[in-house]
A and B are shown apart, each in its own frame.
Chain A
Amino acid sequence: MAHGPAKGIGRWIFTTNHKDIGTLYLWFSFAMFLLGGFFAMVIRAELFEPGMQIVRPEFFNQMTTMHGLVMVFGAIMPAFVGLANWMIPMMIGAPDMALPRMNNLSFWILPFAFAILASTLFMEGGAPNFGWTFYAPLSTTYAPPSVNYFIFGVHIMGASSIMGSINIIATVLNLRAPGMTLMKMPLFVWTWLITAFLLVAVMPVLAGAVTMMLMDVNFGTSFFNAAGGGDPVLFQHVFWFFGHPEVYIIILPAFGVISAIIPAFSRKPLFGYSSMVYATAAIAFLSFIVWAHHMFTVGMPLTGELYFMYATMLIAVPTGVKVFNWISTMFRGAMTFETPMLFAIAFVILFTMGGFTGLMLSIAPSDIQYHDTYFVVAHFHYVMVAGAVFSGTAAVYYWLPKWCGKMYDETMGKLQFWIAFIGFNITFFPQHFLGLAGMPRRYADYALQFADWNMVSSIGAFIYGAAQLLFLFNVIRTIVAGKPVTEPKTWEGAEGLEWTLPTPAPYHTFSTPPEVK
């Protein structure tokens, strides 16, 4: 018979329960989100005015690098793995993840990976300072000694991601309740299934890239060293072969979350379910064949440049399909605007704006002017922050009552939303102007004509940062002192197996599989 969790710290260290591990992932990713956010605050504080005020340029580069690495690998990816752990078994009617012990391992190596990465800040020569894209030879021949720790950390993160993905694939393919056919799965499960395949495919490529770096740094090889017959551009091809699918790895589960929340608060089924599944698969496929659009200025041959431009423009089609479907879902629904819905709507608007700038960036000749400027910084923060982070926040507010049996305070949730929404736009919208006017990214200091918008952007960043502290406060207050809720269905329009379970969800659920009609 089902039993409750173990007592004390041992519960968390030895747990194989998908809910416990989901919780661990979510708290870990939030801690990393605050750490990465702190680095961003240092960056924005330094860029508040022209001139060097707070840090030295070499430390500034460490901050941009660590901000990117911690946010991508420490905050966003584990947050969605956490959501997957919590929700996938409950959504498909499974008792737990298929490989619970590996689940424990894949989480518990992560804190070590990030402890190793963070420790480089205190090393002689400083933390990695070559950008989160770590282009060779800046990251090999010219790297600080801490690059070895960085490589080791990336290897561990990769192993964790691969194990997590195998687990998700095994769970989704094997543990679905009777009657839950693939085309009946919630879209969040579909997007994660596809994401997991992407991860299994590209994390080894990243591991290969950093291993070649390790060889170049320590064992005298010349994979990326032109003087020894190697090729610095090869690094970029390998990196972006990983890196481009990586950005879809980050955004696809977010699509899944939004596809759950919008129908719930529109009280109307998701429009075009099967086209959503096909669009997700199409995006995943395209993600493998467009990588060199990050490299339009490296001097590729004309034919290569043309091919990557055309292929990249194509991504707009399936992405557009998704946005049109979400809006058709809202159309003629009976909408209410609770906090999760507000974040979901903001996601659709802001992610679409990021999609527009993405389409602009795909035009190779124009990209000559946009490349490596603040226009790109604005673009990917619109898709990553307003995309992944907003949808993650929406997911937490949406499922929090189910997780802990307590209701968050709606006014406080809405307050957080508006501060985050306004702060985000004040931060990143002016960065479009900065980039178009000619400010390159990763600049520790800038010319005077960029001063005003940088100051606006910094003020916005501090507001957006404050919104995250409010988020932390809201979540803790809900857990400690939220109004208890017991009905299985928190939201009137919510659909799916997770809402058939008692609230809060018991430690073990679906010990006997439900029947899906």
Chain B
Amino acid sequence: MLSKAKLLFARMLVPLLLLSVAGPVMAEKTRHWGDLNMTRGVTDVSRQIYDLHMIIFWICVVIGVLVFGVMIFSMFVHRKSLGYKAANFHESTTVEIAWTVVPALILIVMAVPATSALLNLYDTTEAEMDVLITGYQWKWQYEYLGEDVSFISELSTPESEIYNTADKNEHYLQQVSQPLVIPVDTKVRFLVTAKDVIHSWWMTEFGVKRDAIPGFVNETWARVEKTGTYRGECTELCGKGHAFMPIVVEVVEKDEFATWLSEKKAEVAAIRELTSKEFSLEELMTTGEAAYNRTCAACHMANGEGIPGVFPAVKGSAIATGPVTDHLSIVINGKTGTAMQAFGAQLSEVDLAAIITYERNAWGNSTGDVVQPIEILNFKQGQ
């Protein structure tokens, strides 16, 4: 009887041996299959998280090996087919207490490093700069508080790649129009909020994930130790563009950041200049088409027809063909209770004027109206 058990055991050993040989080979082979484990990241917090993750992982592996080991041993040896006779024990207060107390002790030991990591993660004091992150359907706005610099960062992967009419580039779905730029070795406090539904700002390499919730401003922070380009994503379901609002952060040297920031300020000033310029219909239509496709087409579609029952059409709509002020109002202030955002805070006067002009003259909406940037500014200031 015992020899039969040994035979079974031997049979079981063969696949185990095969696995132990195949394991490392597979690991080598699968390198191009992407990472199998969590990243160590480039901040103090992300490393603490990684260490916790590995500790608890190995605790689980050890418990698993012990528990499954007993079970598999039993499955191979305590078989009726081997003539094994069942024992009849079914109670032992001692073991019950032991396997209640031992796991509880392991958990207490585990709770100590977890608590200290959490304390560190929540310590947003003594930040050297603040960035306000606002989630919108389906893009991020970054505002450097106190610097008067703010911009929208949205997906820059072309539709043709998403719908498979063009080859996908290396950073498919992880590239944006304008990345967030922050200096290295600087404690940056992120203030995270949203204007419509809940989003979540996740930068894996920083160990930062905070929900962006309308009406709340959440705080979190990162001090990045290595320059480079980091890519993250939105992690709270926020509608149809959920998978299409990535996050890209460029971490640069401090002096490089100072240069970038002053250039950015000059750029903002230049755009303000343009507000007083008079544009032709053609200029506005060209700028407008590009801006519309970037900002509006996700809901109202590139052909202006919207999605029936969900997003209204612009083509032939009462607003786009009616009085200009109504049109200005809805684009600038949005419509409460709907997905229509207040774009007055997101876009420049030039873009707003171009989009409205485009909407009033495209797809057979031939009102012939030309809206100049200055009219937008006047409208905003007048209300």
Q: With CB as the reference atom, state the residue of chain B lying closest to A439.
A: B233
Q: Is the CB of B60 within 8 A of A50?
A: no
Q: Is the CB of A369 within 8 A of B70?
A: no
Q: Is the CB of A137 within 8 A of B34?
A: no
From the candidates B78, B117, B197, name the one contacting A330 in the complex (CB within 8 A). Answer: B78
Contacts of B338 in A (CB 8 A): 141-142
From the candidates B111, B162, B336, name the one contacting A51 in the complex (CB within 8 A). Answer: B162
Q: Is the CB of B96 within 8 A of A321?
A: yes
Chain B interface size range: 35 or more
For the complex, give the distance between the alpha carbons of A372 and B235 in Å. 6
Contacts of B233 in A (CB 8 A): 438, 440, 443
Contacts of A272 in B (CB 8 A): 90-92, 96
Q: Is the CB of A61 within 8 A of B239?
A: yes
Contacts of A453 in B (CB 8 A): 33-34
From the candidates B64, B81, B171, B243, name the one contacting A352 in the complex (CB within 8 A). Answer: B64
From the candidates A145, A306, A324, A329, name the one contacting B67 in the complex (CB within 8 A). Answer: A324
9-residue interface stretch from A74-82, A108-116, A185-193, A262-270? A262-270
Contacts of B122 in A (CB 8 A): 302, 305
For the complex, give the distance between the alpha carbons of A331 and B71 in Å. 7
For the complex, give the distance between the alpha carbons of A438 and B78 in Å. 43
In the complex, how many residue pairs between chain A and chain B have their CB atoms under 8 Å apart?
305
Q: Is the CB of B87 within 8 A of A440?
A: no
Q: Is the CB of B79 within 8 A of A335?
A: yes
Using an 8 Å CB-CB cutoff, how does the interface string of A420-448 with B read, 1 for contact, 0 for none? 00000000000001001110111111111
Q: Is the CB of B34 within 8 A of A437?
A: yes
In angstroms, how far is the closest chain B Cβ from the Cβ of A239? 12
For the complex, give the distance between the alpha carbons of A366 and B137 in Å. 27
Q: Is the CB of A365 within 8 A of B118?
A: yes
Q: Is the CB of A58 within 8 A of B310?
A: yes
A501 in contact (CB, < 8 A): no
Q: Is the CB of A368 within 8 A of B88?
A: no
B187 in contact (CB, < 8 A): no
For the complex, give the distance between the alpha carbons of A441 and B104 in Å. 32
Q: With CB as the reference atom, state the residue of chain B lying closest to A360.
A: B56
Please provide the chain B residues from 61 to 103 with a CB less than 8 Å away from any CB of chain A in the complex. 63-64, 67-68, 70-71, 74-75, 78-81, 84-92, 95-96, 99-100, 103
Q: Is the CB of B111 within 8 A of A310?
A: yes
Q: Is the CB of A268 within 8 A of B88?
A: yes
B130 in contact (CB, < 8 A): no
Contacts of B162 in A (CB 8 A): 51-52, 445
Q: Is the CB of A363 within 8 A of B204?
A: no
Contacts of A324 in B (CB 8 A): 67, 95, 99
Using an 8 Å CB-CB cutoff, how does the interface string of B195-209 with A read, 1 for contact, 0 for none? 011101010100111
From the candidates B74, B90, B215, name the one contacting A227 in the complex (CB within 8 A). Answer: B215
Contacts of A438 in B (CB 8 A): 35, 39, 204, 232-233
Q: Is the CB of A335 within 8 A of B91?
A: no
Contacts of A124 in B (CB 8 A): 308-309
Q: Taking chain B's interface residues, is the majority helix, strand, or loop, or is none over half, making it mixed?
A: mixed
Please provide the chain B residues from 150 to 177 with a CB less than 8 Å away from any CB of chain A in the complex. 161-164, 168, 170-174
Supposing A58-B240, A61-B239, A365-B49 touch, asked if A327 and B96 sit within 8 A by C-beta, the answer is no
A144 in contact (CB, < 8 A): yes
Q: Is the CB of B78 within 8 A of A314?
A: no
For the complex, give the distance between the alpha carbons of A29 and B337 in Å. 37
Q: With CB as the reference atom, state the residue of chain A lying closest to B201.
A: A297
Q: Is the CB of A306 within 8 A of B115?
A: yes
For the complex, give the distance between the alpha carbons of A317 and B170 in Å. 46
Supposing A125-B310, A227-B214, A327-B67 touch, asked if A368 and B243 sit within 8 A by C-beta, the answer is no
Other contacts beyond A267-B86, A305-B118: 9, CB < 8 A: A137-B196, A142-B239, A145-B309, A232-B198, A232-B214, A330-B71, A364-B118, A368-B121, A441-B235
* Chain A residues in the interface with B (C-beta under 8 A): 50-53, 56-58, 61, 123-126, 129-131, 135, 137-138, 141-142, 144-145, 226-227, 230-233, 266-275, 297-299, 302, 305-306, 309-310, 313-314, 316-317, 320-321, 323-324, 327-337, 345, 348-349, 352-353, 356, 359-360, 363-366, 368-369, 371-373, 433, 436-438, 440-450, 452-453
Q: 14 pairs across A/B with beta carbons < 8 Å?
A: A57-B242, A61-B242, A138-B198, A144-B309, A227-B336, A268-B88, A275-B96, A327-B70, A335-B75, A336-B81, A365-B52, A365-B118, A445-B162, A448-B168
* Chain B residues in the interface with A (C-beta under 8 A): 32-39, 45-46, 48-49, 52-53, 56-57, 60, 63-64, 67-68, 70-71, 74-75, 78-81, 84-92, 95-96, 99-100, 103-104, 107, 110-111, 114-115, 117-119, 121-122, 137, 161-164, 168, 170-174, 192, 196-198, 200, 202, 204, 207-211, 213-216, 218-219, 231-244, 307-310, 336-339
